[in-house]
Structures are given as C-alpha cells and as structure tokens.
Amino acid sequence: MQPHPSPLVQVRQLSYSYPDGTKALDNINFEMSAGETVVLLGANGSGKTTFVLHLNGLLLGQGQVQVGGVTVTRATLNEVRRRVGIVFQNSDEQLFMSSVLDDVAFGPQNLGMPAEAAYGLARKMLQRVGLAGAEQKIPYHLSAGEKKRAAIAGILAMEPDVLVLDEPTVYLDPPGQRTLIELLRELPQPKIVVTHDMVLARAVGTRALFFEKGKIAGEGTVTQMMDQFGWDPGQAIPGAA
C-alpha cells in the first residue's frame, strides 16, 4: 500500500443541491487524518448522508473532495471506491446477490481478488459480524439487523483504507451493538461514523462534527457536541432510568 499524504480525507467548500432544488450541503470544509474516528451528529435531514455519499463519488457536488490525495471525479471513481468503503444507511441498497456469501464475496472479487480467496475472506467477515450459518440465505430474506450485519461484512471484505458507516447500529440488538463497537475499535482503518446512537458515538469517536441545515455547526469531542447541542437522548425525560 502506498503511504498516504496527510490529510487522508480533505473536503473543501463542498455544496450540493438535489435535483428538486433542496440545498443539502452548504460550504462544508473537513479534514481527517489516519488514526481518527470522526462521528457525524445532527438532526434528521441535516445533510450527514448527503455528505458521506460525496466521499466515494456517489454524489458529485460543487467544491473539492480528496481521498488519499486523489480528487474525486468521474474519472477517479474506481480508484476512490477502492479506498473508501461505505456501509449505507439503507441495507437494501447494498445487498443484491442471490446469497449472503456471494454478496460479501462480490466486492473483493470485483477488486480483482481470486474467487477462492474472496470466498474465504467473505466467510471470515460473516463470522466476525455474527452471521456464520447464514451464508446461503437470500439477502432479501434476512431480518433488518442481519441485513445490516451482512452489509458491514461486505464492506469489510473490501478492506478499504477509510471506512464510512451510516447508522451502523440501527436494527442491531444490544449484543449486536456491543459486538459492532468492539469490531470498530479493533479495525485499524480511520472511520467516519454517522449516528444518532450516543453509546456508539461515545465509544468510538475521537472527534465529532455537528451538522445543522447542511453546514458544520460545531466540532469537538462527542461529549462537547452533546452538551453544546443538547444531544443526550435521556436528558429531557422525567423519571427515565
């Protein structure tokens, strides 16, 4: 692997409006170095998913996005997608093969890994996310949490340089949430984690950004952002344990 120039991810003056005119991102500036796990917080509709979809060119906005020194353009999509693996908020957008195992093996094969190695890696990753035994199931038939796990295994199998996870703990049962937190802590890659799950945010985040109406409204530690923006889910419920 080539050494990365620092910073690993650099976003300059990024703005994006959807075709219907919704301005979803408004002049975002962002940098991330190796070793960081950056948590993206913010209200529903504040632009977090739109932002991460720019990191591997699924959306191309105005401004500049660079990953490992490579500028994201139509011409660099293959290179960029090798480097940045995104676990989508909606798993149905991620899973499309006829078996779970084929699905997880697809990514590494698509990057040129021989089938035997890709299937070996896929089995290992399915085990890591607690899906051993589900290899031959049809992804569409999995439960929501199982789909999430399969999608995570599929991205891990591609061994990206940067991992982006959009709401990875949604649908996961509490043991599954804990396993995912442990897994994320073990994985050496820098990560961007979009989440409303404050247990996850606190457990993995080395830095947090708070999105508001398509802008970055605050930056600091997870705890600082939770305090500044009143982002503790239990705080306003009288009598809540």
Ligand X SMILES: Nc1ncnc2c1ncn2[C@@H]1O[C@H](COP(=O)(O)OP(=O)(O)OP(=O)(O)O)[C@@H](O)[C@H]1O
- Residue 49 in the binding site for Mg ion (CB under 5 A): yes
- Residue 48 in the binding site for ligand X (CB under 6 A): yes
State the SS3 of 211-236.
EECCEEEEEECHHHHHHHHCCCCCCC
Residues 6+ apart with CB under 8 A from 107: 154, 155, 157, 158
Give the distance, in angstroms, between the CA of residue 141 and the centroid of all CA atoms in the same chain: 23
Which residue lies nearer to ligand X by CB, 23 or 185? 23
Cβ at position 112, least distance to ligand X in Å = 32
Q: Which of residues 21-40 bind ligand X (CB under 6 A)?
A: 22, 24
State the Cα–Cα distance between residues 170 and 197, nearest whole angstrom: 8
Q: Which stretch binds ligand X (CB under 6 A): 7-15, 16-24, 144-152, 173-181?
A: 16-24
Name the 3-class secondary structure at 164. Answer: strand
DSSP run (H or E) holding 122: helix 115-128
Structure tokens at 160: 């990206």
Among the listed residues 49, 66, 91, 109, the single contact to ligand X using CB under 6 A: 49
State the Cα–Cα distance between residues 45 and 239, nearest whole angstrom: 30
Among the listed residues 28, 30, 38, 47, the single contact to ligand X using CB under 6 A: 47
Q: Which of residues 83-142 bind Mg ion (CB under 5 A)?
A: 89
Which residue lies nearer to Mg ion by CB, 89 or 189? 89
Among the listed residues 9, 10, 11, 42, the single contact to ligand X using CB under 6 A: 42
Q: Which does 107 bind (CB under 5 to 8 A by kind): Mg ion, ligand X, none?
A: none
Residues 6+ apart with CB under 8 A from 71: 64, 65
Q: Which stretch binds ligand X (CB under 6 A): 14-22, 74-82, 127-135, 172-180?
A: 14-22
Q: What distances in angstroms separate CA 228 from CA 36, 40, 221, one per listed residue?
A: 21, 14, 10
Q: Which does 5 bind (CB under 5 to 8 A by kind): ligand X, Mg ion, none?
A: none
Beta-bridged to residue 40, according to DSSP, are: 194, 209
Q: Which does 37 bind (CB under 5 to 8 A by kind): ligand X, Mg ion, none?
A: none
Q: Which does 42 bind (CB under 5 to 8 A by kind): Mg ion, ligand X, none?
A: ligand X
Q: What distances in angstroms separate CA 79 from CA 63, 69, 76, 154, 231, one per listed residue?
A: 19, 11, 5, 18, 37
Cβ at position 69, least distance to Mg ion in Å = 28
**Total number of residues that touch ligand X (CB under 6 A):** 14
Binding site for ligand X (CB under 6 A): 18, 20, 22, 24, 42, 44-50, 89, 211
Binding site for Mg ion (CB under 5 A): 49, 89
